[in-house]
Amino acid sequence: MKKTGKTMTLPKFDYYAPKSIEEALGLLADMGGNARVMAGGTDLMVKMRNGLISPEAVIGLKNVADLDCISFSKMKGLTIGAGALLRDVAAHKGIRKHFPAIAYAAGETANVQIRNMGTVAGNLCNAAPSADNAPALIALGAQVTVVGPDGERTIALDRFFKGPGLTALEPGEILIAIRVPLPAAHSGAVYCHLSPRSKVDICAVGVAAMVTLDGNTCLNARVSLGAVAPIPMRAKKAEALLIGKALTRTAIEKAGIQAAKESRPISDMRASALYRRRMVEVLTRRAIGGACRQVK
């Protein structure tokens, strides 16, 4: 690789554009660990340009039929294909109506240029702790469908992340879809986040909350945190403080304090660990309150 100033050129690699998942799996099997799968490429190309990875081959999924499909039904819920662009998820009428937190997270990811190229699936597979799309999807009980040499399997999204840049994908597997069940009646979900430089920077703190209510009593709750631990995570102890309780101001405040305790933030150029922990408390309260206001 040549180095010019502060930028680095892409390493040499072979590019393949299969027209089916079967063809993509075959290429991946033939090349073993020397190939990377690419959906939008907004994360992969950056890593390659910065010299973090140097695959011999890139397998692009753009030409795989129907992989960019987004579908919704009240029976099956929401399906987001691995090729679906962030901009299309953000603008989809069904998602905006039934899963506004998912639409909002997709619309807040990075900037317009990246949303026009990047995919929700790619954002998840990059496995950055700060991935904007992960908290909302986790809070809503999303699963991912992956396919590989041994066939197809489903993984709950809150078990998909194993560490920074690491997922539960086995060698030779490809994520093909994200599936989200239709929320129960009288449910609401909200995603809140903070970035040091608004949309041009990576999320510094992200919190999503989903609640299901019977009157003011919480029947179910999920609270998910981003950018404050090695992986996007659920604050399960905070959830437990809400379930079965009236969601009073005091109850919501206690859940925010607990979520902050469960977080494991670090200090970096975007924010200090102390600031992140304090903002988890604030955003958890805000997300739970917003989710309650969505309930009809």
In the chain, the domains with their CATH numbers are: 3-60 (3.30.43.10), 70-180 (3.30.465.10), 187-294 (3.30.390.50)
Dihedral sign computed on CA atoms, order 12, 18, 21, 24: negative
Contact present, 163 and 231 (Cβ < 8 Å): yes
Q: Is the pLDDT of residue 117 over 60?
A: yes
The pLDDT assigned to 2 comes to 41
% pLDDT > 90, the chain = 85
Task: Kindly list the distances between the CA atom of residue 214 and the CA atoms of 120, 188, 206, in Å, as whole numbers in the listed order.
Answer: 32, 12, 27
Does the pLDDT of residue 138 top 60, yes or no? yes
pLDDT in tens, 41-96: 888 988 998 888 999 999 999 999 999 999 999 889 999 999 999 999 999 999 99
pLDDT at 4 over 50: no
Q: How far apart are CA 139 and CA 117, in angstroms?
A: 25
- Prediction pTM value: 0.94
What would the pLDDT profile of 227-279 be if each residue is shown by its tens digit?
999 999 999 999 999 999 999 999 999 999 999 999 999 999 889 999 999 99
Distance of alpha carbon 204 from alpha carbon 108, whole angstroms: 13
What local confidence, expressed as pLDDT, does residue 202 receive?
Answer: 86
Q: Is the pLDDT confidence value at 164 over 70? A: yes
Of 18-27, 191-200, 212-221, the range with the lowest mean pLDDT is: 191-200
Average pLDDT, the chain: 94
**Residue burial 147-157, b: 16+ Cβ < 10 Å; e: rest:** bbeeeeeebeb
Cα separation of 129 and 111, whole Å? 18
Does pLDDT of 3 surpass 60? Answer: no
d(CA 149, CA 128): 26
